[in-house]
Structure 1
Amino acid sequence: MSGGGESSEDSLRVYGRASRRRRREWVEAIERVIRVPLADVVRENALVHLPPAAATRLRLVHPAWARRMSSPLFAVAHAAASRRISGVFVPSAGFLPFDEDDTVPSPSLFFVPASSDLVVLSSSHGVACCFSPADDAYAVCNPATASWTAVPSPPHRSWPRPAIVVLFDTSAYNFRGDYTLVCPFESAPGSGAYCFQVFTSGAGSWWVTDAMTPAEGLVAASGVAAGGTAWWRTSIGTAVGYNPVTGSVELVIYPGDSDQWEIGSAAGRLHCAVCDGRDVVVFRLHEHGIWEEATRVAVAEILQPSQPEPARAAASAEIVASQQPAPSHEHALAEDESSDESDTDEDEEEDEGSRAVVAAANAPLRLDDGVRLLGFQGVEVEVVVLAGRRLVAFDPRTRRRRDVAVPDEVDARWDGAEYAAHTNTLALVAPTILAPEPPADQEVASS
């Protein structure tokens, strides 16, 4: 018995020493963190989450910050960090940012040589593919860093707008900034059957895959990257995806019965925004083509800041008036005696006009009232709509909206059908090294 008691006491002493040692190590770790200068904490943990324009300005803070942000490791981490959509590339105007501090040095991408305005075809994690119609030339670039590389034309052309989607690898080992381009093309004019051609920066050449899928009415500008798969929507209510790593094709039916729908990417998964009367419903794609409702938001809430200033002033005046105490009978009689009929008529007309403006501004809005859905990308779902000359990105989780006005140089007939969603990062862009000849096991189509 005594031996057993001594054994228990020994175990308790050992446990106590281990517990004290763990507490001491924990306290020392906390002290080490506390002693770390705030500048070092910001450099190691906060800079990677800043927009590229803001991060670049902070290079001047200290040489250590400049070294940190000049490292390829930082560029890889910045491209992989969670962030939301920065803006949209639109014809004639170039890049329209939702935030003033999340812009690019050249909204029209003047650093890419071209004899005509460039068309941004698609973008993924800050890497964009652009096209010069006049030169029939392609380039892959990072608009935030003005780095670019030329890309050969795909062997099979798709006109008038190539349906190329950029797939960018954000893994920790992509130090070169390698990327993949996927471009569908119709196997025969009017057949509605599409094949896929793929270009990788590592191989330096295009090749045609064996995959084929029905995709009648494929919308070239709808392309989006989601989880290593390139997706497009069609005009017949389907979405088509191709994964160049697995060589697999996916075909899903969109979840709704409205003509107003767009696909987007959030957290690496395909999403679909659908018009449902006065609401926008966003669905998330699961395995086996199953859609799950992710969020629902009213169009009126998305466009709330678009209420005209006179209407907001009139509404505020009505609220203030409703909170004031009712005037006394004697005071009301005195006011009636001091006012004439003309003033009373004018007041009544102004009241009726104000009520009419407020009623018009607060009227329920629908997506068919001149409002169009656009695609989106980022770590979180953001509903992007075009309302007149106003682009709005609405976050259903935080209820925050960001908007930008479409400039006058954009054609008034632009209805949001041609665009490219973009997220700014400091991602590297691998230089294109053209292959001397195609790999033996891959078919390369001739022009």
Structure 2
Amino acid sequence: MSGADADAPSSEGAEQLRACREAARRRLLRERVGPAPLADVLRDHALVHLPPAAAARLSLVHPSWARALVSPLFAVAHAAAPRRASGLFLPAPPGAGAGFLPLDAADTLPSPPLAFLPASSAPAVLSSSHGVACCFSPADDAYFVCNPATGSWEGVPCPPCRITWPRPAIVVVFDAGVYNFGGDFTLVCAFESAPGSGIYCFAVFTSVAGAWWVADAVTPAEGLIPASGVAAGGTAWWRTSIGTAVGYNPGTGRVELALCPGDSARWEIGSAAGTLHCAVRADGDVVVFRLDVHGGWEAAATVSVAEILQRPRNRAEQERTGAITAASNRRIWMPRDDVRLLPFQGAEVEVVLLSGRRVVAFEAATGRRREAVLPDQPAGTDWCAAAFAAHTNTLAPVAPVVLMEPPDDQEDVAS
């Protein structure tokens, strides 16, 4: 037997002995300390999954819970935790504040929403990502990045090119990773290089740089729809009226294009698990597609509109949601012609439909349904054509902004 062969068993035995000693040490430590109290387990592992409003009410349970809820580390972890969309921001009628339609009774905002912003008129929510929203006050020509759940906000300067009125095509890109302790954010504004050209450029603002600059990238995006903006995987995306989705990634400087996989007159884009998805109406179904790494679409789920909206329970709901009675007097449910897809975001695929004043969110994987009813239609507001912004309540911090001068080679653009 060689020397190497002789040493092998002894080396293996020494390794087993060390493993046994380590296991014994951990067992003795557990016996001394004992199991963690249930209150500590709930504080450390459950609070992060609660909506901000529900978590705030639990701060009275114990001083350690109150300390955890105001901890910056807890705020970051709360923003990073997977969760469903909380609801939709509604367009503000003249003379009224911005409205918010929660999809869960416990996942709402302080009322009235956005009242903490120093705006002379109701601001419009342009986009939202992981609880951080970008708002615009037309009366003040002012922009704010804020967390509607916590009331924290920062003012940002106007983008360098103001030809995107009446609604700027701005998307807030927020990294909800556990390393974004400061709450840094990025804004991406798409604008036409010349009015009516259909060629779009991109202006970028970051909380770190404190100034806007215009990227080198340009792309055809005829009929870009400003209100359709959504952030997914670090990229800002918009739909166009010609059946394409246009994306710009400020981290890589790349432009991405994707063709609508179905009827472009009945589709909506959204974010699920950090990836761009789109929902398409196809006859009586809604088909959800996921954008793959090659820029193509792959089917993720198919759900019937009737299943999402369900059979009405009574005659009043029947009339409101479009049920009809067949000649045989058997009740057959048919969706209304004005059923519309709405923006969506969250950890899982959730189809959101508007039918009359009903807003129904349907989770494709579990079949879980959430429903809310829009308020009476204010004068001059058409819910079927209104611009909604999906929003998820979190405790995400918003980074302070130190404004800087634009780069020398872009002073003319910013003026």
Decide whether aligned partners of structure 1 residues 27 and 405 sit closer, same or farther in structure 2, where only a CA change above 3 A counts: same
Give the Cα–Cα distance (whole angstroms) in 2 for the partners of residues 7 and 401 of structure 1: 64
Secondary structure of 2:294's match?
helix
1: distance between equivalents of 2:401 and 2:34? 46
Partner of 2:57: 57
1:424 has 2:393 as partner: yes
The answer to whether 1:363 aligns with 2:369 is no
- Determine the structure 2 residue equivalent to 1:85: 85
**Aligned runs of 1:31-430 on 2, under 5 Å?**
35-92=35-92, 94-157=99-162, 158-304=164-310, 307-310=312-315, 359-360=330-331, 362-365=332-335, 369-408=337-376, 410-411=378-379, 413-430=382-399
Structure 1 Cα separation of the partners of residues 328 and 401 of structure 2: 58
CA distance in 2, matches of 1:244, 1:136: 24
Offset of residue 445 of structure 1 = 1.5
Structure 1 residue matching 2:393: 3-state secondary structure: coil
Cα deviation code 1:275-326 (max 9, x no counterpart):
1110000000012211100000000010016x1425999xxxxxxxxxxxxx
Q: Do the aligned residues in 1 keep the contact of 2:113 with 2:148 (CA within 8 Å)? A: no
Secondary structure of the equivalent of 1:397? coil
Question: Which residue of 2 is the match for residue 333 of structure 1?
Answer: none
Superposed displacement of residue 391, structure 1 = 0.8
- C-alpha separation between the residues in 2 aligned to 1:112 and 1:402? 30
CA 1:311/1:390 → structure 2, altered by over 3 Å: closer, same or farther? closer
> What is aligned with 2:406?
438
Query: Which structure shows the bigger proportion of residues in helix conformation?
Result: 1
Unaligned runs of 5+ in 1: 314-352
Q: Tell me by how many angstroms 1:263 deviates.
A: 0.5
Between the aligned partners of 1:174 and 1:8, the Cα distance in structure 2 is: 48
Secondary structure of 2:340's aligned partner: strand
Contact residue 273 and residue 373 of structure 1 kept, 8 A? yes
Partner of residue 321, structure 2: none
Aligned to 1:318: none
Contact 2:91–2:386 (CA under 8 A) maintained in structure 1: no
1 CA distance for matches of 2:19 and 2:153?
56
For the structure 1 residues 4 and 443, does the alpha-carbon distance in structure 2 shift closer, same or farther, using more than 3 Å as the test?
Answer: closer
Contact 2:243–2:264 (CA<8 Å) still a contact in 1?
Answer: no
SS of the residue corresponding to residue 46 of structure 2 reads helix
1:372–1:416 Cα contact (<8 Å) kept: no
Identical positions, percent = 64
Q: Secondary structure at the match of 1:445?
A: helix
- AA paired with 2:387? E
Amino acid at match of 1:103: T
Distance apart, 1:151 and its partner CA? 1.3
Which residue identity lines up with residue 125 of structure 1 in the other structure? H
Q: Give 1:257 shift.
A: 3.1
Q: Structure 1 residues 34, 146: closer, same or farther in 2, change over 3 A?
A: same
Q: Distance in 2 between matches of 1:278 and 1:293?
A: 17
CA contact (8 A) 1:221 1:417 kept: no
Name the aligned partner's letter for residue 167 of structure 1. Answer: V
Instruction: Return the letter of the residue paired with 2:388.
Output: Y
Are the equivalent residues in 2 in contact too, given 1:256–1:274 (CA < 8 A)?
Answer: yes
Asked which structure has the greater CA Rg, the reply is 1
Amino acid in the other structure paired with 1:141: C
The structure-2 alpha-carbon separation of the partners of 1:77 and 1:7, relative to structure 1 and needing over 3 Å to count, comes to closer
**Structure 2 unpaired stretches of 5+:** 93-97, 319-323
**Structure 2 counterpart of 1:342:** none
What is the aligned partner in structure 2 of residue 328 from structure 1? Answer: none
Per-residue deviation at 1:166? 0.2
| Number of the residue aligned with 1:316 | none
Output one character per residue of 1:148-180: Cα deviation in whole Å (capped at 9) or x when no partner: 111111121211111110001223332221111
Return the alpha-carbon distance in structure 1 between the equivalents of residues 49 and 231 of structure 2. Answer: 21
Aligned equivalents of 1:392, 1:163: Cα separation in 2 = 26
* Offset of residue 70 of structure 1: 1.1
1:9 offset after TM fit, Å? 8.2
Judge conservation of contact 1:278–1:364 (CA < 8 Å) in 2.
Answer: no
Q: For residues 325-361 of structure 1, what are the alpha-carbon distances to aligned partners after superposition, in whole Å with 9 as ceiling and x for unaligned?
A: xxxxxxxxxxxxxxxxxxxxxxxxxxxx98769744x
Indicate how the Cα distance of structure 1 residues 187 and 71 shifts in structure 2: closer, same or farther if over 3 A, else same: same
CA contact (8 A) 1:207 1:442 kept: yes
Q: Quick one: higher RCO (CA 8 Å, sep 6+), 1 or 2?
A: 1
